Chain A
Amino acid sequence: MKYLILRRVVQILILALFAFSAFDFILKGDLSSSKLFSTIPLSDPFAVLQIYLASFSIDFMALLGACVVLVLYGVFLGRAFCAWVCPVNLITDFAAFVRVKFGFKSNKSLVLSKNLRYYLLILVLILSFTLSLPVFEGISYIGIVHRGIIFGGASWLFVAFVIFCIDAFLSPRATCSHLCPLGAFYALMTRFALLKIEHKVSKCTKCYHCVSVCPEKQVLWMIGKESASVNSGECIRCGRCIDVCNDDALSFNIFDLRKKDEK
């Protein structure tokens, strides 16, 4: 439970820092662009890319902010944005919980491909260019939910509800693992990030608890087969697998060095 609780604390803390103007000196703006301690710019690199394609110019501030975020996730944290920052994760995790609790079966007619999000990503970029609009920013449910929490209003609640319905009743983990172009963007950008999940096969008892809780099951192909790190950019570093593993076979690992020593 350790990482799960830590993750919820971080998610809610970040939302709170954004939402209360008393904390404006720490974090001001929203997830698409903000200022940390009133000096460090942070921008969503995917949004900045869309704006660049739409307008063929980009302000230095936004570019700098995008670089800061890209380096943070791309070099160190991987796709951790999805698990630790994005407010939609709260909804989809809850939907997954409800789904498992009530034992909803997946709808056979609605099986989405994991690659769908990459096609959507490409589509978004092409449309941004042809329509001269940052297309995903216009419809981004992440933005709607996040801004709704920060700036108030009620319509976002319905969007959150729709996301919940899709994930809980229609198709498991549809939003984050199959549709979200931002998640796909981070998955591509963070392929070589340092923070990884490490699996030691010698300790694994093949209970597959980890695979059953993982929102991106395909990245855990090595469970029970060999000692390896989760190398896919699609791993959101939520640490659920570590939490549920009773045999200590999984752990976070920043530098891949330890593993090499053991061999």
Chain B
Amino acid sequence: MESRREFFIKSFKGLCLCAGGGFLATLALKADEGVFLRPPGAEDEERFLSKCIRCGLCVKACPYDTLKLASLLDAPANGTPFFKPREIPCYLCEDIPCIKDCPTDALDKNYLKKENGVKELKMGIAIVDSASCVAHWGIQCDACYRACPLIDKALKIETKRNERTAKHAFLLPVVDHEYCVGCGLCEKACITEEAAIRVLPRNYVLGKAGAHYVKGWDKQDENKLKNVGTQRKLDDKKAKDYLNAEDLL
């Protein structure tokens, strides 16, 4: 009798341990690479992660329920706030309550100053998928353009002649990266089955040209040319050596 009881207890124990271990293994293997946006004032991911205490006060402060705290199975670091604009975008509250309530400055308090404000936020950048945007097909749609809080600045309409009909114009949405704050209102408004305009984190999208280019039309840039040695030293031997030494034929 006793041994039977013991056997059951033992197997139960083993089962529990297996289930627990199995769960930990799934976590380790989780590969949800979902793209997500950070709340206002958290554009520098490294700075943000070093400061967020994971309290959820920003989540509670948001009147639109935009922000969520990541659970273990979400893509962002466990317990940190994020949002998915196609579900609920950021409505750019004038007083930015999410930043106001953040106790640790993880959401940058500088945006609360008068001269900065919501228009300076940089949560992400909208990009248009021209293949699925119906405006690019020649069908008129300006849903995203109308939805953009920075209309005609962040999102403009560019007209182009439609050669196919020779009568109509394309009215194409174009995002200006200087102004787009990444609120996601356009993505939310987009009429296609999956949004043809999507907001991605800035570091996914933006490139960097490097400092060595000089724009001839920019006075500031021209300064770079001051005191620059124009004598370019070319090693004339290098070309000869290459022709002679490398087995070219």
Given contacts A61-B104, A102-B9, A155-B73, contact A161 B56 (CB under 8 A): no
A58 contact set on B, CB distance < 8 A: 104-105
CB pair B57–A35 under 8 Å, yes or no, is yes
CB pair B17–A169 under 8 Å, yes or no, is yes
**Minimal Cβ-Cβ distance residue in A for B109:** A59
CB proximity to A under 8 Å, residues B1-55: 9, 13, 16-17, 19-20, 23-24, 46-47, 49-51, 53-55
CB pair B78–A21 under 8 Å, yes or no, is no
CB pair B53–A44 under 8 Å, yes or no, is yes
> Complex: how many Å from CA A47 to CA B54?
10
Q: How many residues of B contact A (CB 8 A)?
A: 34
Which residues of A pack against B, CB within 8 Å?
21, 24, 28-30, 32-35, 41, 43-44, 47-48, 51, 54-55, 57-59, 61-62, 65, 102, 104, 132-134, 137-140, 143-144, 147-148, 150-151, 153-156, 158-159, 161-162, 164-166, 168-170
A47: contacting residue among B13, B19, B53, CB under 8 A: B53
B46 contact set on A, CB distance < 8 A: 132
CB pair B19–A134 under 8 Å, yes or no, is no
CB pair A162–B57 under 8 Å, yes or no, is no
B91 to chain A, nearest CB (A): 19
B19: contacting residue among A153, A155, A161, A168, CB under 8 A: A161
B54: contacting residue among A54, A55, A59, A143, CB under 8 A: A143
CB pair B24–A162 under 8 Å, yes or no, is yes
A57 contact set on B, CB distance < 8 A: 105
CB pair B50–A165 under 8 Å, yes or no, is no
Which residues of B pack against A, CB within 8 Å?
9, 13, 16-17, 19-20, 23-24, 46-47, 49-51, 53-57, 59-60, 68-69, 71-73, 77-79, 101-105, 109
CB pair B71–A156 under 8 Å, yes or no, is yes
A29: contacting residue among B19, B23, B50, B56, CB under 8 A: B56
CB pair B13–A43 under 8 Å, yes or no, is no
**Minimal Cβ-Cβ distance residue in A for B56:** A30
B19 to chain A, nearest CB (A): 7
CB pair A104–B13 under 8 Å, yes or no, is yes
CB pair A51–B103 under 8 Å, yes or no, is no
CB pair B55–A33 under 8 Å, yes or no, is yes
CB pair B105–A134 under 8 Å, yes or no, is no
A54 contact set on B, CB distance < 8 A: 50-51
CB pair B71–A41 under 8 Å, yes or no, is no
**Minimal Cβ-Cβ distance residue in B for A38:** B101
CB pair B50–A137 under 8 Å, yes or no, is no
